[in-house]
């Protein structure tokens, strides 16, 4: 079977869930071949996890300055891997960084590019949600090696244990004049909750939460469910919650197993970022709120009465179980 290159998202020590999802997508087209870009030793630390989820080959693109430049080392590594194995496709996570890498790679390869796919069939036809969630389209690359970014959460990770062959890609020296270099790093505040794009459960609050203090009920329900906290653009613009938690067309796109929307009306901008969630639960006091029509389960009521009851019930069942 042909190889399908998968760019590995990682933190240097562990493989992100989004990469395991890409492995599942890649198996529809061929044999997943992981491309690890990092400092020396990174691929060795990640190889076991990659092999467990189906990587038949691990291409190690390592250099001491790989982490010091944005996008360019990943583009270089994928270009080298394409030349070496002539893959059926290249898959990348549809994050801000991933979309940039994919776009630059497609330009270098003079190849077709598909962004933010939510499904992919065995013939390479991708399903996308476009125009702010108004349309679902099916697209296929007709020129060169298909470069496709896949929305995190669109595929379920599937363990597929095997042995992965290790190969080395010699990264060229980065050209400082043509590459964006990292000059400083600042750690973002982090808690015990999973990241938005990796969480299987997301609980989001909107303008109906009423203020920053109102997000406490959102956080409590998210913690009870073991999920991540999100926010609508209206809530973020009003200063209720930090921008990095925004879900929507101008925020992060998510596709969890369960999405709970509290006090979110359902503007197109927000729906575009979460409507592919497997199960959607919406709580809103306005019976005409658009999101209630999209939800699998809709509750017309005061979120400050409904959400605490949900939290209490979830906590009780977890304790009993």
Strands 69-70 and 135-139: unpaired
Report whether 284 belongs to an annotated binding site. Answer: yes
Residue 219, SS3 per DSSP:
helix
Q: Is 99 annotated as a binding residue?
A: no
Annotated binding residue 233: yes
Whether 263 has a binding-site annotation, put simply, is yes
Both structure tokens of 278:
């497997």
Establish whether 214 is an annotated binding residue: no
Strand partners, 297: 281
Taking the CB of residue 65, how many other CB atoms lie within 10 A of it? 15
List the structure tokens of 142.
């007709």
268 is in an annotated binding site: yes
Q: Is 41 annotated as a binding residue?
A: no
**279 assigned to a ligand binding site:** no
Handedness of CA 55, 61, 64, 67 (dihedral sign): negative
Query: Is 160 a known ligand-binding residue?
Result: no
- Nearest partner of 36 among 57, 64, 17, judged by Cα: 57
187 is in an annotated binding site: no
Give CA–CA dist 146/111, Å, rounded: 6
Q: What 3-state class would DSSP assign to 52?
A: helix
Half-sphere exposure of 236 (CA within 13 A, CB side): 18
205 is in an annotated binding site: no
Q: Is 248 annotated as a binding residue?
A: yes
Indicate the helix (H) or strand (E) that contains 201.
strand 201-205
Neighbours of 284 (CB within 10 A): 26
Q: Is 106 annotated as a binding residue?
A: no
* Contact (Cβ atoms closer than 8 angstroms) between residue 269 and residue 233: yes
Q: Is 243 annotated as a binding residue?
A: no
- Find out whether 269 is annotated in a ligand binding site: yes
Point out the annotated binding site for FAD: 207, 232-233, 246-250, 263-270, 284
Point out the annotated binding site: 207, 232-233, 246-250, 263-270, 284
């Amino acid at each position: 079977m042909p190889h399908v290159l998968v760019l590995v998202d990682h933190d240097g020590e562990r493989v992100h869930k989004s990469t395991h999802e890409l492995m599942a997508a890649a198996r529809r087209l061929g044999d997943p071949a992981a491309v690890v870009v990092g400092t020396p030793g990174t691929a060795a630390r990640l190889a076991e996890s990659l092999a467990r989820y189906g990587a038949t080959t691990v291409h190690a693109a390592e250099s001491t300055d790989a982490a010091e430049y944005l996008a360019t080392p990943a583009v270089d590594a994928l270009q080298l891997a394409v030349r070496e194995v002539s893959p059926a496709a290249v898959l990348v996570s549809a994050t801000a960084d991933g979309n940039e890498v994919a776009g630059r790679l497609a330009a270098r390869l003079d190849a077709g590019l598909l962004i933010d796919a939510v499904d992919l069939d065995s013939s390479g036809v991708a399903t996308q949600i476009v125009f702010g969630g108004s349309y679902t389209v099916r697209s296929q690359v007709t020129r060169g090696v298909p470069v496709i970014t896949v929305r995190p959460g669109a595929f379920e990770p599937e363990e597929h244990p095997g042995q992965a062959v290790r190969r080395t890609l010699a990264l060229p020296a980065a050209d400082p004049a043509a590459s964006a270099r990292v000059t400083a790093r600042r750690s973002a505040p982090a808690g015990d909750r999973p990241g938005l794009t990796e969480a299987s459960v997301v609980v989001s609050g909107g303008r109906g939460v009423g203020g920053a203090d109102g997000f406490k009920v959102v956080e409590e329900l998210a913690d009870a469910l073991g999920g991540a906290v999100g926010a609508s653009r209206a809530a973020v613009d009003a200063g209720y919650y930090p921008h990095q938690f925004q879900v929507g067309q101008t925020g992060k796109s998510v596709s969890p197993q369960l999405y709970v929307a509290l006090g979110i009306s359902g503007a197109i901008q927000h729906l575009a970022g979460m409507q592919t969630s497997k199960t959607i639960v919406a709580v809103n006091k306005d019976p005409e709120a658009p999101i209630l029509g999209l939800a699998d389960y809709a509750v017309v009521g005061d979120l400050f009465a409904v959400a605490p009851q949900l939290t209490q019930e979830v906590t009780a069942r977890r304790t009993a179980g």
